[in-house]
Amino acid sequence: DDDPDMVRLLTRVIERSMGSKLRVEACTDPEQARQRIDDGGIDILLTDLEMPSIDGLTLLRYAKKRSAFTQVLFITGHSSHEALLEALEQGSTDYLLKPVDQQKLVDLIEQAFHRQQRWREALGATWQQRQQAHA
């Protein structure tokens, strides 16, 4: 999100609820977020759909190119029906409308976290089976 107050609030909510399970990094500049995606290691991306310079759909596409397993959650205050549909078609995990319901946010982050874990486990099991078949 490009609103520093919103970013602080969301960061506190997520850290309070899930701080022991994941590390939270916050950006208010979409270009900085894109650079962070470039650096790798983003499992869950929570972004506003509409921001100046780089919109959330661009960040979604960018994150998915880097890792198809990245879970992308959108928050939005006034996006169009078409933008939300495009987000889902591009691989968005889910979205929340502003004002953000904190419990729903935590629930969606937890779901994305567990989905990410299942993908990792499935990928690891598949890799092990392939290694055993070639041994």
**Per-residue pLDDT in tens (0 to 9) along the chain, 135 residues:** 878 999 999 999 999 998 788 899 999 888 899 999 988 878 999 999 888 788 899 999 999 999 888 999 999 887 778 888 899 899 999 999 989 999 999 999 999 999 988 888 888 777 777 777 876
pLDDT of residue 57: 93
> Residue 87: which H helix or E strand, with range?
helix 81-89
**pTM, 2 dp:** 0.85
Residue 122: its pLDDT value, please? 86
Instruction: Report the distance separating Cα 62 and Cα 68, nearest Å.
Output: 10
Other C-beta atoms lying within 10 Å of the C-beta of residue 59: 23
